[in-house]
Amino acid sequence: MILKTICLGLALSFALTAQGEEATAVDEAAPKARLPLEELRIFAEAFDRISKAYVEEVDDKTLLENAIRGLLDQLDPHSAFLDADAFEDLQESTTGNYGGLGIEIGTEAGVIKVVSPIDDTPAAKAGILSGDLIIEIGGQSIRSIGVNEAVAIMRGEPGSTVTLSVVREGEPNPIEVTLTREVINIASVRQRLLEPHFGYVRVAQFQADTGTEVRDAIDALSSSTPLHGLVIDLRNNPGGVLQAAVALSDLFIKEGIIVYTEGRLENAAATFRATESVVIDGVPIIVLVNEGSASASEIVAGALQDHQRALVMGTRTFGKGSVQTILQLTSDKAIKLTTALYFTPNGRSIQAEGIIPDLWVDRSTVTKLKSNPFRLQERDLPGHLNAPSNDAAEPGSAQDPAEVVGNDYQLNQALTLLKGLHILAEKP
């Protein structure tokens, strides 16, 4: 009853304050909004009854934290209350070193939806896919234990195992997958040459230094061979630090807007512009995306697409076009609140729409057919004429790109297109 009285007293105090502010500002055009006094009384009454009548005793601190969670859970899938453990986990994820399975998740209809598995983690190795719905963990229903508890279970002791029950589109029955937890060390950026002169940069997640790491990766590739084309792979990249996405985009855009945000708070409206410092100016770029490319990945793809600096290839992206701000409540607790929407340079909102690729290429498996050993060519015919001597330069080696990029059909297509663009550019 004491707590109920305190809640009612606070409600009345806030209401009187709001009314007092209106009384001193009657000459303003728009009246001040009043706090919902009746609803605050109902909240205090409900709190008091739950505290007294629930079948098991629940301390007031837990009830109040659950009330805050309820406020945020009903807003959107990305706003959340961060208790001490969740706040620590968030800080670890932005530095790229934590224990767990390596899954970037969201929520959908009370279960966990996989945004994307992170490269070289237990989830990726076990075949977890973007779009999978996790309905059970260790035999416990997600709806019964709650998403927060489910996340805590997935982030258990390294070396231990956990079994997930996964619903996948196109599969009639749930799939059970057993994973071994590991300490997740996320390598934000990796690079290699697909073929001589054609580079590949993989960005797994946007961390604080990702922009600098990408610049270093391109410098390393360029130092070994002149680049004729570059693939930036953002597939299954769940996003991360907004400033890192801006820094990466700025490497390839000379001027203009990279991304801008709009929100109700004054500091939620911001515009990020390119500087004049660019790398590999004029070299063709292909950005690979899929349904697991979200948030910061979509900022990069949208910026390079709008500025016509790169061709976007793959499938439609995840469609997370909102900005979350961490608002710290105490030294170890905070709320993650959606405060703005972001827009591409041409004013496109990506929220729930995603980035539509310039070239739609589905994830596929291609099997090379064996050639017919009995098919003859001119050179096989008896008495065939030999070709006259040709002093012109021989064309480059027709290396099979499948040998370079394995069974990755989308990457195969990106490499083929880059080689074609280079050949056309070289022709007189």
Q: Is residue 407 part of a domain?
A: no
Distance CA 210, CA 188 (A): 6
Q: Pick from 331, 360, 389: which residue ends a domain?
A: 360
Residue 93: its pLDDT value, please? Answer: 61
Give the residue ranges of DSSP H helices in 54-191.
60-73, 84-95, 122-125, 142-145, 147-154
Q: Is residue 37 part of a domain?
A: yes
Residue 163: its pLDDT value, please? Answer: 94
The pLDDT of residue 396 is above 50: no
Task: Mark whether 255 and 346 lie in a shared domain.
Answer: yes
pLDDT tens sequence across 212-254? 999 999 999 999 899 999 999 999 999 988 999 999 999 999 9
Q: What is the mean pLDDT of residues 254-264?
A: 96
Task: Mark whether 203 and 179 lie in a shared domain.
Answer: no
Task: Mark whether 220 and 288 lie in a shared domain.
Answer: yes
The pLDDT of residue 346 is above 90: yes
- Amino acid identity at 122: P
Distance CA 21, CA 34 (A): 10
The pLDDT mean for the chain works out to 85
The pLDDT of residue 6 is above 80: no
Residue 130: its pLDDT value, please? Answer: 86
Q: Is residue 422 part of a domain?
A: no
Task: Mark whether 126 and 206 lie in a shared domain.
Answer: no
What distance lies between CA 1 and its chain's CA centroid? 46
Distance CA 25, CA 325 (A): 32
What residues have CB less than 8 Å from 13, skipping those under 6 apart? none
Q: Is residue 372 part of a domain?
A: no
Task: Mark whether 115 and 162 lie in a shared domain.
Answer: yes
pLDDT tens sequence across 263-286? 998 889 999 999 988 899 999 999
Residue 105: its pLDDT value, please? Answer: 83
Q: What is the mean pLDDT of residues 128-135?
A: 92
Task: Mark whether 38 and 154 lie in a shared domain.
Answer: no
**3-class SS at 354?**
coil
The pLDDT of residue 377 is above 90: no
Residue 92: its pLDDT value, please? Answer: 63
Tally of structural domains, the chain: 3
pLDDT tens sequence across 66-123? 999 999 989 998 899 998 878 877 766 655 556 789 888 877 777 898 988 888 889 9
Which positions are catalytic?
295, 306, 320
Task: Mark whether 308 and 353 lie in a shared domain.
Answer: yes
Task: Mark whether 158 and 272 lie in a shared domain.
Answer: no
Give the domain CATH number at 203: 3.90.226.10
Q: Is residue 206 part of a domain?
A: yes
pTM of the model as a whole: 0.76
Q: What is the mean pLDDT of residues 347-373?
A: 88
Give the domain CATH number at 166: 2.30.42.10
The pLDDT of residue 17 is above 60: no
List the domain range (segments joined by +) for residue 48: 2-21+33-73
Q: Report the DSSP beta bridge partners of residue 259.
A: 272
Task: Mark whether 220 and 353 lie in a shared domain.
Answer: yes
Q: Is residue 144 part of a domain?
A: yes
Q: Is residue 63 part of a domain?
A: yes
Q: Pick from 360, 381, 399: which residue ends a domain?
A: 360
Residue 187: its pLDDT value, please? Answer: 80
Q: Is residue 255 part of a domain?
A: yes
What H or E segment, with its residue span, contains residue 326? strand 322-328
Q: Pick from 153, 170, 185: which residue ends a domain?
A: 185
Task: Mark whether 117 and 199 lie in a shared domain.
Answer: no
